[in-house]
Amino acid sequence: MFNKKSNTMFNNAMFKRAIILLMKPNQKLHESSERLYEAAKKLKSLEGIASIAELLNQSFQTVKNWESRGVSLEGALLAQEKIGCNALWLLGRGNEMSFFSPVEMKLVADFQASAHEDKETLLQIATAFKLKAGFSSIKTG
């Protein structure tokens, strides 16, 4: 119920809907945020702030802030880990969206979907191959 005496000071022209809409013009998304949404949709079939925030284990507000301020370095590295996009591309410093080639992405997806015992066997094979090929600096686990 509206009480004219107590509510009058809050009922002024400053807070009319039309004025508020003019105060917040439609802002264009930051380029890195656009890239994040593009990568999430293409690589993980995710849309919307809430689903991306959940995947990256960030708050809704943090991801929302990236829309105007740009994705942070920490956010770009999280997106690279969780979504599979290239952090440098996300920040506008790289040319390729995907950190992995399509073949590598399929291998990673197949590995993640495999049983624990199969993963151990695959890691042993990868380690043997790594040593044979001379890639001693590559970590397998």
Residue-level pLDDT at 35: 94
Residue-level pLDDT at 76: 94
Provide the residue type at 125 as one letter. Answer: I
Cβ–Cβ under 8 Å, residues 97 and 38: yes
Residue-level pLDDT at 63: 94
Residue-level pLDDT at 91: 92
- Sorted by where each begins, the domain ranges of the chain are 31-90, 102-133
Residue-level pLDDT at 104: 75
Residue-level pLDDT at 115: 82
End-to-end CA distance of the chain: 64
Residue-level pLDDT at 15: 56
Torsion over CA: 36, 41, 43, 45 (sign): positive
How high is the mean pLDDT in each 10-residue block of the chain (141 residues)?
55 56 69 94 91 94 93 94 90 81 76 82 80 58 49
Residue-level pLDDT at 34: 94
Torsion over CA: 84, 86, 91, 97 (sign): negative
Cβ–Cβ under 8 Å, residues 71 and 36: yes
- The Cα 4–Cα 9 span in angstroms is 9
Residue-level pLDDT at 132: 67
